[in-house]
């Protein structure tokens, strides 16, 4: 099994298209991770705010981040299925 994995990774390293795809997957995964951290920070921030407008703005930001995460996951799924 390990040998198979090794052969695959060597093959990927020489195949430009495969390594590009892997690179894209990694970058999108990184993006999702960063967005989740950002959303968690915003949610913590909401708890400390008193102004209704501020809370509403932050909530809207959280919703947009959720949309962005969903969109990024969709792209990632499509890449895996290719």
Partner 1 sequence: MIESNFYKKLIMPIILSILLVALVLLGIYPNISMILGGIAIFLIGMEYMENGFKTFSGGMLEQVLEKFTNTTPKAITTGFIATSIVQSSSLLSVIVISFLTAELITLSSAIGIIFGSNIGSTTTAWLVSMFGLQIKISTYAMPMIVMGILIPIILKDKGWKGIAAILIGLGMIFLGIGYMKEGFETLKEGMNLASYAMDGYLGIFVYVLVGAIATIVIQSSAATMAIVITALATGQIEYANALALAIGANLGTTVTAVIAALKSNENGKRLALAHFIFNVITASVAIIFIYQLTYVVDFLSTIIGIDTHNYAMKLALFHTLFNLLGVIIVSPFIKYLVEFLNKRFIQTSTEVGKAKYLDNSILSMPDVAISAITKEVQHLFQNGFKIIIHGINIKKKNLTADMDPKKVLLDTYANEYIDIESFYRYQIKGIYGQIIEFATRAQGNMNDAENSHNVEYLYKLKVAARDIVEAVKDTKHLQKNLKKYATSKNKYLKEQYNQLREDLIVLLRDINSLSSIKEQHEIVLILSKAKVHSQKYDMLANGRLDNLIRENLITAEMATSLMNDSTYVYDISKSLIDMAEVIFVDATIANNILVDDDDIDDLLNKN
Q: Considering the rule CB under 8 A, would residue 70 count as an interface residue with partner 1? A: yes
Q: Considering the rule CB under 8 A, would residue 40 count as an interface residue with partner 1? A: no
Stretch that binds partner 1, among 2-10, 44-52, 60-68 (CB under 8 A): 60-68
Cβ burial of 42 (10 Å; 0-12, 13-18, 19+) is middle
Instruction: Write out the binding residues for partner 1, residues 8-27 only, by CB under 8 A.
Output: 16, 20, 23-24, 27
Q: Which of 34, 40, 41, 73 binds partner 1 (CB under 8 A)?
A: 34
Per-residue tokens: 29: 């995964």
């Amino acid at each position: 099994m390990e040998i198979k994995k090794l052969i695959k990774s060597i093959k990927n390293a020489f195949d430009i298209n495969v390594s590009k795809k892997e690179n894209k997957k990694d970058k999108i995964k990184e993006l999702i991770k960063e967005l989740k951290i950002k959303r968690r920070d915003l949610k913590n921030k909401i708890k400390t705010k008193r102004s209704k407008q501020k809370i509403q703005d932050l909530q809207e930001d959280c919703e947009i981040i959720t949309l962005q995460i969903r969109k990024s996951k969709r792209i990632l799924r499509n890449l895996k299925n290719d």
